[in-house]
Structure 1
Amino acid sequence: MLTHEDIWRGIDRLARHAQTSPSGLARRAGLDSTTFNPSKRVSSDGKKPRWPSTESIAKALAAANLDFDDFAALISGQPRGGALLSRALADSEANNPFDATGHPVGPDWEAIPFPGLAPGDAYALTVQDDTMRPVYRPGDRLVVSHEAPTRVGDRVIIQRRDSTRAAWTLAEKTVQGVRLTPFDPLRPSINLPLSQIAWMARIIWVSQ
């Protein structure tokens, strides 16, 4: 059974899939721009949940060129058809095609087949240089996710507040910050306060 939270999470993921915001998705669907806003999700007194209409969902899906099966897949977090957005990691360094939370934005992403299931927000970045050796080589495709929980020992991509971005091994995680180990064993670990981190995504799969 789908819950109120499930449906609205699906709307948010649908907007992200369409590379826009919930209000942008509503406008694209020919609806009032506030239709999918957080303020519309509960009653004015904050006590009763409010649900989007089936008509508004249908219009939003049509605007994103998806159907209700796709919407169900977005809600569950399992992409339908095994496709991911992808681009070169070096290009992403230069052009920063991410929103403030680290999700893909802009037109310069391509859809690629993915042989398996991944979280609904997953995307792929292709290594183009030798900076990640000896762990990753040019041509390796890294599938990353913000929804996948991060644990000590995971390999992650971190973007700092100054927009610099790099891949690391998560060596320690506290309420104040993280300790990161580079892939090159000759380089030292660094301690990074959470205040300097814009976003962190876990590398969940690698095609080598």
Structure 2
Amino acid sequence: MAQESGDMLSHEQIWGAIDRLAERHALTPSGLARRAGLDPTSFNKSKRLSADGRLRWPSTESIAKVLDATGASMEQFLTFMRPKSSFSSLPDGAIPRHGSSIPLLGFAQAGAGGFFDDGGFPAGQGWDVVEFPAAPSQKAGVYALEVQGESMMPLYRDGDVLIVEPGAQVRRNDRVVVKTREGEVMAKVLLRQSPRSIELMSLNPEHPNRTIELSDVDWIARIIWASQ
């Protein structure tokens, strides 16, 4: 795709439209690329300029694939061609608590220290932002975790985004995300909870169910929405 002059589409507009399309489906640019069957790094910001500073453009084939994968029309894609919006890296570790944008983190990162406070709420630096595609009345503190790998198949695929509400009351058969004190993060179904332990059913039938002592649980949060 070559750059045009005058009032034609700009490099920034084209890439901005891809970012907006990813936001609309609660995906990161890499998640959108994976969903379209492309290399996960195809839409990374580092790929948008060559080593010598020249502009690099997404191919018409890759745009066609993401439109097909998301069900978006070319007309919808054109409406997204506006300056960069809510999807960006968060400056100075700021965590948005209100509005339609929420913090986003990959499952692999979630197991590392420094991303959550003692209650399982977003904290620290390193978070991205994604548009929450539900009503703007979501409770403060919700955030998104991007599924990485195939361990949650067939329910959740690589690149799906789970919207999580920390601090919410969880009940039997709720889908939850659990972080252990050893740093393991997992999405499961809560089968039962006793005063001393929780029993979790795995989403993937190839993985066994888990029983974890409450003393070993760092936090547990309810999954309230998933992009699929």
Where on the TM-score scale, by shorter chain, does this alignment land: which range?
A: 0.5 to 0.7
The residue aligned with 1:92 is: 110
Stretches of structure 2 that go unaligned for 5 or more consecutive residues are: 1-93
**Identity among equivalent pairs (%):** 34
How much does 1:85 deviate? 0.8
Residue aligned with 1:112, SS: strand
Higher relative contact order (CA 8 A, sep 6+): 2
The residue aligned with 2:150 is: 130
Residue aligned with 2:105, SS: strand
How much does 1:138 deviate? 1.0
1:203 maps to 2:218: no
Find the aligned partners of 1:139 and 1:163 in 2 and give their Cα distance.
21
Residue aligned with 1:195, SS: helix
1:143 corresponds to which of 163, 184, 196: 163
1:154-173 aligned at under 5 Å gives the runs 154-173=174-193
Compute the RMSD of aligned alpha carbons: 2.3
2:125 corresponds to which of 97, 101, 107: 107
Deviations 1:110-165 (A, max 9, x none): 22221223221100011121111111001111010113220110111111121221
The residue aligned with 1:182 is: 202
Tell which deviates more after alignment, 188-197 or 119-128. 188-197
1:193 maps to 2:213: yes
Deviations 1:66-95 (A, max 9, x none): xxxx9xxx7xxxx3x311111222222345
Stretches of structure 1 that go unaligned for 5 or more consecutive residues are: 1-64
TM-score by length of 2: 0.53
- Amino acid of the structure 2 residue aligned with 1:104: P
Please tell me whether the aligned partners of residues 119 and 147 of structure 1 are also in contact (alpha carbons under 8 angstroms).
no
Find the aligned partners of 1:89 and 1:96 in 2 and give their Cα distance.
14
